[in-house]
Amino acid sequence: MAYFRSHVLVSVDPVCVEKGAYELIETLQDELVKQGLVEEVQVLETSRIGDPETEGLDLMVYPEAVHYTKLTLDDVPFLVEEQFLKGRIAEQYIRETKRVIDEELSAPKTKEVRIVLKNIGEIDPLNIEDYIARDGYMALGKVLTEMTPEETIQEVLDSGLRGRGGAGFPTGLKWRFIRNAVGEQKYMLCNADEGDPGAFANRRVLEGDPHSVVEGMIIAAYAVGASQGYIYCRAEYPIAVRTMKIAIEQARNFGLLGDNILGSGFSFDLEVRMGAGAFVCGEETALMASIEGHRGEPRPRPPFPAQKGLWEQPSNINNVETYSNVPQIILNGAEWFANLGYNKSTGTKTFSMAGDVKNTGLIEVPFGITLREIIYDVGGGIKEDKKFKAVQTGGPMGGCLPEKLLDLHMDYEALAEAGSILGSGGLVVMDEDTCMVDIARFFMEFTQDESCGKCTPCRIGTRRILEILTRICEGKGKPDDIDTLRYLCDQINENSLCGLGKGAPNPVKSTLEHFLDEYEAHIYEKRCPAKVCKSLIRFEIIEGLCTGCTLCARNCPVDAISGERRQTHVIDPDICIKCGICEQLCQYDAIEIK
Amino acid sequence: MATEVKEGQDIRKMVRTLVQNHGDEKAELIPILHEINRELGYISDEAIKELSKKMNLPSSHIYSVATFYRMLSTEPRGRHVIQFCESAPCHVTGGRLVWQKLQRELGLEKGETSQDDKWTLLTTSCLGLCGVGPVMVIDNDIYGNVTPEQVPGILENYE
CATH code: domain of residue A204 = 3.40.50.11540
Asked if residue A121 is part of any domain, the answer here is no
Closest Cα in chain B to A431: B92
- Give the DSSP letter string of A58-70: EEEEETTTEEEEE
Q: How far is A280 from chain B (nearest CA, A)?
A: 10
Phi and psi angles of residue A187, each rounded to the nearest 5 degrees, phi first: -115, 150
Across the interface, of B65, B128, B130, the residue whose CB is closest to A237 is: B128
pLDDT, tens only, A269-311: 999 999 998 889 989 999 999 999 999 999 988 999 999 999 9
Across the interface, of B31, B70, B86, the residue whose CB is closest to A278 is: B70
Closest Cα in chain B to A363: B131
Q: Contacts of residue B148 in chain A, CB cutoff 8 Å?
A: 584
Residues A35 and A55 in one domain: yes
- Give the DSSP letter string of A493-527: HHH-SSHHHHHTTHHHHHHHHH-HHHHHHHHHS--
CATH of the domain at A34: 3.40.30.10
Report the relative pairing of strands B141-143 and A570-571 from DSSP bridges: unpaired
Q: What's the mean pLDDT in A13-34? A: 88
Residues A287 and A142 in one domain: yes
- Report pLDDT for B132: 80
Q: Answer yes or no: is pLDDT of B7 > 80.
A: no
A457 preceded by cis ω (within 30°)? no
Residues A152 and A240 in one domain: yes
Q: Tell me, what DSSP letter sits at residue A302?
A: S
CA distances from A137 to A59, A231, A252, A262, A423 (A): 27, 18, 13, 10, 29
Return the closest-CA partner of residue A172 out of A186, A181, A159.
A159
Give the mutation candidate from A295, A358, A583, A584 for the B interface (greatest B CB count, under 10 A): A295
**Cβ–Cβ below 8 Å for B125 and A195:** yes
**Cβ–Cβ below 8 Å for A200 and B97:** no
Q: What's the mean pLDDT in A100-111? A: 78
Burial A156-187, CB ≥16 within 10 A → b, else e = bbbbbbbbbbbebebbbebbbbbbebebeebb
Q: Tell me, what DSSP letter sits at residue A311?
A: G
Burial A291-330, CB ≥16 within 10 A → b, else e = bbbbbbbbeeeeebbbbbbbeebbbbbbbbbbbbbbbbbb
* DSSP bridge partners of A393: A427
Q: How far is A352 from chain B (nearest CA, A)?
A: 8
Distance CA A296, CA A498 (A): 12
* DSSP bridge partners of A526: none
Return the closest-CA partner of residue B22 out of B44, B51, B61, B47.
B51
Q: Answer yes or no: is pLDDT of A205 > 80.
A: yes
CA distances from A295 to A396, B26, B63 (A): 22, 12, 10
Residue A262, helix vs strand vs coil = helix
Classify residue A409 by burial, with Cβ atoms within 10 Å: 0-12, 13-18, 19+.
Answer: middle
pLDDT, tens only, B69-107: 988 999 999 999 999 998 777 877 888 889 999 999 999
- Give the DSSP letter string of A322-347: HHHHHHHHHHH-HHHHHHSEETTEES
Asked if residue A529 is part of any domain, the answer here is no
Q: What's the mean pLDDT in A376-390? A: 94
Q: How far is A353 from chain B (nearest CA, A)?
A: 8
Residues A153 and A196 in one domain: yes
- Report pLDDT for A340: 93
Residues A417 and A462 in one domain: no
Asked if residue A531 is part of any domain, the answer here is no
Count of H-run helices and E-run strands, chain B:
7, 4
Asked if residue A456 is part of any domain, the answer here is yes
Residues A346 and A454 in one domain: no
Residues A380 and A491 in one domain: no
Asked if residue A516 is part of any domain, the answer here is yes
Q: Contacts of residue B30 in chain A, CB cutoff 8 Å?
A: 273-276, 290, 293
Q: Of A431, A466, A481, which closes a domain?
A: A431
**Cβ–Cβ below 8 Å for A103 and B26:** no
Chain centre to alpha carbon of residue A311 = 30
Determine the straight-line distance between the first and last CA of chain B, rounded to whole angstroms: 12
Closest Cα in chain B to A297: B68
A302 preceded by cis ω (within 30°)? yes
Q: Contacts of residue A360 in chain B, CB cutoff 8 Å?
A: 130-131
Residues A457 and A355 in one domain: no
Classify the C-alpha dihedral B63-B68-B69-B70 as positive or negative.
Answer: positive
Residues A471 and A551 in one domain: no
Q: Of A374, A398, A431, which closes a domain?
A: A431
Across the interface, of B34, B125, B148, the residue whose CB is closest to A236 is: B125
Determine the straight-line distance between the first and last CA of chain A, rounded to whole angstroms: 78
Closest Cα in chain A to B68: A295
Across the interface, of A198, A290, A361, the residue whose CB is closest to B126 is: A198
Classify residue A534 by burial, with Cβ atoms within 10 Å: 0-12, 13-18, 19+.
Answer: middle
**Crossing angle (nearest 10°) for helices B29-40 and B45-55:** 150
Return the closest-CA partner of residue A297 out of A273, A280, A315.
A280
User: Sorting pLDDT into bands at 50, 70 and 90, what band is A98?
Assistant: low
Distance CA A319, CA A311 (A): 20
Instruction: Determine contact, residues A541/A573, Cβ cutoff 8 Å.
Output: no
Instruction: Determine contact, residues A392/A400, Cβ cutoff 8 Å.
Output: yes
Q: Of A314, A338, A362, which closes a domain?
A: A338
pLDDT, tens only, A242-273: 999 999 999 999 999 999 999 999 999 999 99
The per-residue pLDDT of chain A, averaged, comes to: 92
User: Sorting pLDDT into bands at 50, 70 and 90, what band is A2?
Assistant: low
Q: What's the mean pLDDT in A573-591? A: 89
Q: Answer yes or no: is pLDDT of A102 > 80.
A: no
**Alpha helices, H only, A96-137:** 128-133
User: Sorting pLDDT into bands at 50, 70 and 90, what band is A339?
Assistant: very high
Q: Contacts of residue B64 in chain A, CB cutoff 8 Å?
A: 295
Residues A389 and A509 in one domain: no
Residue type, A410: M
Distance CA A49, CA A100 (A): 12
Residue A281, helix vs strand vs coil = helix
Q: Contacts of residue B33 in chain A, CB cutoff 8 Å?
A: 276
Q: Contacts of residue B56 in chain A, CB cutoff 8 Å?
A: none
Distance CA B35, CA B47 (A): 11
CA distances from A225 to A23, A66, A114 (A): 49, 47, 30
Residues A177 and A296 in one domain: yes
Q: Contacts of residue A196 in chain B, CB cutoff 8 Å?
A: 126
Q: Answer yes or no: is pLDDT of B1 > 60.
A: no
* DSSP bridge partners of A431: A388
User: Sorting pLDDT into bands at 50, 70 and 90, what band is A67?
Assistant: confident
Instruction: Determine contact, residues B81/B139, Cβ cutoff 8 Å.
Output: yes
The answer for residues whose C-beta is within 8 angstroms of residue B96's C-beta and 6 or more apart is none
The percentage of chain A sitting over the pLDDT mark of 90, rounded to a whole number, equals 69
Residues A427 and A474 in one domain: no
Q: Answer yes or no: is pLDDT of A412 > 90.
A: yes
- Report pLDDT for A196: 84
Q: How far is A254 from chain B (nearest CA, A)?
A: 26
Across the interface, of B92, B93, B128, the residue whose CB is closest to A194 is: B128
**Cβ–Cβ below 8 Å for A103 and B126:** no
Instruction: Report ipTM for this prediction.
Output: 0.83
**Cβ–Cβ below 8 Å for A354 and B97:** no
CA distances from A464 to A229, A338, A519, A536, B86 (A): 40, 45, 17, 22, 21
**Cβ–Cβ below 8 Å for A198 and B88:** yes
Return the closest-CA partner of residue A358 out of A334, A339, A377.
A377
Return the closest-CA partner of residue A66 out of A127, A129, A4, A6.
A6
Residue A150, helix vs strand vs coil = helix
Q: What's the mean pLDDT in A455-471? A: 96
Number of domains in chain A: 5
Q: Which residue has the higher pLDDT, A218 or A579?
A: A218
Chain centre to alpha carbon of residue A120 = 12
Across the interface, of A291, A361, A439, the residue whose CB is closest to B131 is: A361
- Report pLDDT for A99: 55
- Report pLDDT for A438: 94
Distance CA A57, CA A47 (A): 13
> What is the domain extent for residue A54?
6-93
Asked if residue A579 is part of any domain, the answer here is yes
Q: What's the mean pLDDT in A468-492? A: 96
Across the interface, of A276, A356, A428, the residue whose CB is closest to B69 is: A276
**Cβ–Cβ below 8 Å for A274 and B31:** yes
- Report pLDDT for B2: 45
Across the interface, of B31, B91, B100, the residue whose CB is closest to A442 is: B91
**Cβ–Cβ below 8 Å for B88 and A439:** yes
Q: Tell me, what DSSP letter sits at residue A170?
A: B
**Cβ–Cβ below 8 Å for B131 and A290:** no
Instruction: Determine contact, residues A192/A202, Cβ cutoff 8 Å.
Output: yes
Q: Which of A164-173, A423-432, B5-14 has the lowest mean pLDDT?
A: B5-14
The per-residue pLDDT of chain B, averaged, comes to: 89
Q: Tell me, what DSSP letter sits at residue A560?
A: -
Asked if residue A511 is part of any domain, the answer here is yes
Phi and psi angles of residue A212, each rounded to the nearest 5 degrees, phi first: -65, -35
Closest Cα in chain A to B137: A236
Across the interface, of A279, A295, A443, the residue whose CB is closest to B65 is: A295
